[in-house]
Amino acid sequence: MAKIKKIEYFRVKPRWLFVKITDENGKYGWGEGTLEGHTNAVEGALDEIIARIIGYEADDIEHIWQTIWRLGFYRGGPVFMSALSGIDIALWDLKGRNLGLPIYQLLGGKVRNKVQVYCWIGGDRPSDVETAAKARIAQGLKCVKMNATEDVNWLDSPSVLDATVERLKTVKSLGLDAGLDFHGRLHKPMAKQLAKLLEPHRPLFIEEPLLCEHPEGYKQLAGLTTIPIATGERLYTRWDVKQFLEKATVDILQPDIAHAGGISETRRIAAMAEAYDVAIAPHCPLGPLAFAASLQIALNTPNFVIQEMSLGMHYNTEAGDIDLTTYLKDPSVFDIEEGYVKAPTGPGLGIEIDEDLVRKIAAETEPWKCKEFYGPDGSIREW
C-alpha cells in the first residue's frame, strides 16, 4: 500500500476538468470532475478536498469517499459531487494500474464484452437532421440522441411540437433508433402533449421530460405514456434517485459518473436501480476520462442498456480541433464497430493520457461558461 502524495487538476479545452493523483511510489491515476460551466466552483471544492486527503492510503477508496462525504457536514449537489467524482475515478484508475487489472475486474468482472453507445445529433430542420444522422451511421452508430425541442413555453401552440415528430421520423427512416432529450425545457402541459405525439413513432426514450425538481409531474407523466422515461444527469447520489425508484416514475436512470460521486457511487446507484427493474444508461457528453470510467461501469452492470459518448463532437479552439480522443495516446481504444465499443483491456481505466498535451493546454485554458438561452419574450430558459 502507498499513501497519496500529490493531487493535481487540469482545466483543459474545450470544457473538461481532469484530476491526477500520484502516490508516494510515483504511481498515478487519472479522473474527471467536469461540470460544464462551473469549473471554478469545482476547483474550489477540490482545493478543500485535497488538503484533507493528502497522506491517506490510496487503496482505501471507500474510506476516502466516506471521509469526503461525511466530514463536510454539508453534502451533495453538483459542485461537491463532481469534485468527489474526479478524486474517486482517479483512485480507481490508480488502484487498477497498481494491480495491472482493468477496473471492471476489480468490481467483479465483465457481464458483457462490448458496450452499445449512442451520440448526439443536432439540427432543427429534417434536412439538417438527416445529414447529421448519416454522419453518425458512417461512424458505425445504430442509435442517436437529439433535441426534443428548442424552446417551448408553459403553454404554447401545439403546432410547435410537430417539428419534433418530423425530426424523429427522419432519423427512424434511416434505420436509427433515437432518444429525445427534453432538457427539462418543457413544462408539464406541453410535455404530456409531446409524449403522446411521439408514442406512435417509438423513440428509444424521452430524457428529462420535466425538471427533476418535479417528481410529482414524473409520476403523472409515467401514467400517461408507454415511452420509456429517462432522467438522472441532475441526480447526484443514491439518495437523490431513491424517490424516483420508490415511486416508479423512471424507466432508465442516467447518472453522470463525473457528477454522481464517481465509480463508487455510480455502481451503487446501478445496483439500487436493478432492484426496481430500472435500466442504467449513463449520461456522458464529456471528456475521455469520464467516458472511460463509464465504460468500466457499463461492462460490470447487469442492468446497463446503452452508453452516451461525445465522439465526433469537435470543438474548434485556438489550441486546435479537439474531440473525445485528442488527449489519448491511442485513440483506437474508443473505436465504434456496429454500434459498440469493445471492452478495454488495459489496466485501470484502460486508456493512456497524453500528459504533456494536457499540461500544455491547461496552461492556456480559461473557464468555459454555459451558453445563455432565451425565449422570444426575453426570459431565460433551460440550457
Residues designated as active site: 183, 283
Cβ(189)–Cβ(154) below 8 Å: yes
Bridge partners (DSSP) listed for residue 348: 102
- Contact 320/345 with Cβ under 8 angstroms? no
Contact (Cβ atoms closer than 8 angstroms) between residue 57 and residue 47: no
Q: Which three cell numbers stand for residue 255?
A: 447518472
Closest CA to 2 of 62, 54, 69, 68: 54
Question: Could you say which DSSP state residue 117 is in?
Answer: E
Residue ranges with strand state E in 128-238? 143-147, 177-181, 206-207, 229-231
What whole-number distance in Å separates Cα of residue 286 and Cα of residue 309?
A: 7
Which value, in Å, is the radius of gyration of the alpha carbons in the chain? Answer: 20
Distance in angstroms (rounded) separating the CA atoms of residues 287 and 361: 14
